[in-house]
Amino acid sequence: MGWFDDTRGMRDKQQKRQTPILFLVTAPLVVRDAALSDVEDLKRINNAKASAVHRDRIRDAHESYIRYLVLEQRGTISGYCVLVFRRPPSWSDTADGEHLPQVVDLYIEPEQRERGLGTFFLRQLESIVVNAGKNRLFIAVDPVGNPRAHALYLRLGYAPLEREPHRVHWHFVDSDGESHEGCDWSLTLRSSNLST
């Protein structure tokens, strides 16, 4: 077992805490903006997402609403995430300006989970948010359908804004004209104050 030294936001060294992690990331990791040339790899790691959804996210990132980021390990995409600074007009909740910036759809390839990639990715997202002049980050998670992600976010210091999860109904049509809709449990979590 290794130790991740988490001193972000601590006022003095006596407040420093050490958080145990079970696996250490050994390969060089890179977080970068997704490109159209990544669409097939993005589809490979999560076949549930249509290619048009990935293309639309890349388009929205070029229009400065979001950052669509990939996590690369040895040149291979292992995960992706949408970092929302302003909801795009094509989203069903476009008028909602609350809880931004927000992490949406953080996804790590199943074979790569439990190796510290999610922690690394989230810490990189926090750095991007701080560099954008923000001091908070929000995450919406389905604690019922994704208890492991929920536990990770709590372990990393994110606190729930609500006592209980609520149902969120969503719907959108992608650029290929395909309709996507669903209903998920959602709980919004907020980071502690990120250092600037």
Distance (Å, rounded) from C-alpha 80 to C-alpha 53? 13
Q: How many CB atoms lie within 10 A of CB 116?
A: 18
Q: What are phi and psi of 27, to 5 degrees?
A: -90, 150
CB 1 within 8 A of CB 21: yes
Residue that has been written with the tokens 């006592």 in this structure: 163
Looking at residue 63, what is its pLDDT?
82
Residue 152: per-residue pLDDT: 95
Q: Report pLDDT for 148.
A: 93
Domains present along the chain, CATH in parentheses: 24-190 (3.40.630.30)
149: its two tokens:
């992600």
Tell me the DSSP string of the chain.
-EEEEE-TT-SSGGG-EEEEESS---S-EEEEE--GGGHHHHHHH-TTS-HHHHHHHHHHHHTTSEEEEEEEETTEEEEEEEEESS--TTSTTTT---S-SEEEEEEE-GGG-SSSHHHHHHHHHHHHHHHTT----EEEE-TTT-HHHHHHHHHTT-EESSSS-EEEEEEEE-TTS-EEEEEEEEEEEE--PPP-
Residue 95: the pLDDT is 66
**Average pLDDT, consecutive stretches of 10 residues, N- to C-terminus, the chain (196 residues):** 35 38 62 95 86 92 90 94 87 74 93 92 95 93 93 95 91 89 92 80
Measured between alpha carbons, how far is 55 from 33 in angstroms, rounded to an integer? 13
Percentage of the chain modeled with pLDDT above 70: 84
> What's the confidence (pLDDT) of residue 62?
87
pTM: 0.81
